[in-house]
Structure 1
Amino acid sequence: MTENASSSFVYVSYIRTTPEKLWSALTNPDFMKQYWFGTYCESEWEPGSSWRMIQADGQVSDVGEIVEAEPAKRLVIKWRNEFRPDLTSEGYSICTMDIEPIQGVMKLTITHSINREKSKLIEAVSGGWPRILSNLKSLLETGQVVLTTKP
C-alpha cells in the first residue's frame, strides 16, 4: 500500500538515543503519554496483533493492526480513525516507522500513507506528527517535552 499510496506524509527526525530506547518510546504506553499529550497506544506489538490509540479522556480514537514489527528497527501499523466520520470513511492507512542508526544518532522516519487522493486523514496527521515527534525527540534527549498542550 505504501508504494502506491495516493496521499502520504513523511517526517524525518534525528534523535540522540539508542535504537532500543527509541523502540521502547514508540511502544511503551506510559512513556508515550508523556510526549503524545496524554494519548497512548495499546498493542502486543507483534504482526497480526490488534492496535488501538486511546486519548487522555479514555476515548478510542484510532484502531488497527500491527503489520510488521522488528524491534528497534521497523514498525508498520494498519491504522483507521474512529472518531471523525469523514476520516473513518476513508478506510485504513498505513503508518511505517523506520529506525536507522546514522553517525551515532537514530534516524526516525515516519511515513503515513493512504491509497486515496487528497486524504483528509493525511491532512490531519500531517499537523499532529511534527508536534508529537518534536516532543519525543526532546523528551529522549533532555528529559522534557517542548509542547505541553494539543493545538
Structure 2
Amino acid sequence: MTEPAFVHEMDLRTTPERLWRALTDGRVTRRYWFDRRIESNWTPGSPVRFYDGDGDTVTDTGVVTVHEPPRLLSYTFRHELGEGAADGPYTRVSFTLMPLAGDRVRLRLVHDRLSGPDEVEGWRAGWTPILDNLREFVESGDKAGATG
C-alpha cells in the first residue's frame, strides 16, 4: 500500500538559487506565503519555525532532515495551536529542485507522512495558493526578492 502524500511538480522560469532562497529565507517567504516567515539555520537536526509576519507567534514547527542547497530540502512539519498545543503529529515536507534547459527549474514538493486521503486533500487546498504565489513571485523578476 502506498503512503498517502500530496505531490506537486511545476516548472518555473527562475534559477535554482533564486528558488532556493524563496524556500529558505524568511524575508522572502513572507512575500508569497501569506506573511508567514520561516526561520532556521538549516543544519540537519535544527528546528524550523514559521512565524506570523514580524511577530513572535509561532504558527508551525519542525526539524530539518535534509539540506543540500540548491537541490534538496526536507523538514518535519506540524501546525502549532499555541500554548504548547499542536495540531496532530509531525508530517514531512520535501522540496527537490531540478535545473532544466534554459532558465527553468522543476520544483517537486512532496508532503507525506499523512494520515489518509482526507489529509492529502486538506494539504492540497493549503499548498495550492502558496505554490501559485511562489510561481508568481519567482517568475516576476522582482529583484528585491532575489537579493534582499
So what's the TM-score if we normalise by structure 1? 0.81
Moved more, 7-16 or 49-58: 49-58
- 2:106 corresponds to: 107
Deviation at 1:118, TM superposition (A): 3.8
- 2:132 corresponds to: 134
- RMSD of the TM alignment (CA)? 2.4
| Structure 2 segments unaligned to the other structure (5+ residues) | 143-148
- 1:148 corresponds to: none
Deviation at 1:138, TM superposition (A): 1.0
- 2:24 corresponds to: 27
Instruction: Give distance in 2, aligned partners of 1:87 and 1:109.
Output: 27
Residues 106-125 of structure 1: matches in 2 within 5 Å?
A: 106-118=105-117, 120=119, 122-125=120-123
Residues 9-88 of structure 1: matches in 2 within 5 Å?
A: 9-56=6-53, 58=55, 59-83=57-81, 88=87
Relative to structure 1, the CA distance from residue 53 to residue 123 in structure 2 (aligned partners, 3 Å threshold; closer, same or farther) is farther
Relative to structure 1, the CA distance from residue 16 to residue 131 in structure 2 (aligned partners, 3 Å threshold; closer, same or farther) is same
- 1:98 corresponds to: 96
Instruction: Give distance in 1, aligned partners of 2:54 and 2:69.
Output: 29
Number of residue pairs aligned between Structure 1 and Structure 2: 139
Deviation at 1:13, TM superposition (A): 1.4
Instruction: Give distance in 2, aligned partners of 1:87 and 1:112.
Output: 18
1:35 and 1:132 in contact (8 A); partners too: yes
Per-residue Cα deviation, 1:87-142 (whole angstroms, up to 9, x for no partner): 723x111100000012221000110011522454x443211211111111111111
Task: Give 4+ residue runs of structure 1 displaced > 3 Å after superposition.
Answer: none
Q: Secondary structure at the match of 1:82?
A: strand
Indicate the percent of aligned positions where both proteins have the same amino acid.
33
Deviation at 1:60, TM superposition (A): 1.2
So what's the TM-score if we normalise by structure 2? 0.83
Q: Secondary structure at the match of 2:81?
A: coil
Moved more, 32-41 or 4-13: 4-13
Relative to structure 1, the CA distance from residue 56 to residue 124 in structure 2 (aligned partners, 3 Å threshold; closer, same or farther) is farther
Q: Secondary structure at the match of 2:22?
A: helix
1:10 and 1:109 in contact (8 A); partners too: yes
Deviation at 1:57, TM superposition (A): 7.4
Deviation at 1:74, TM superposition (A): 0.4
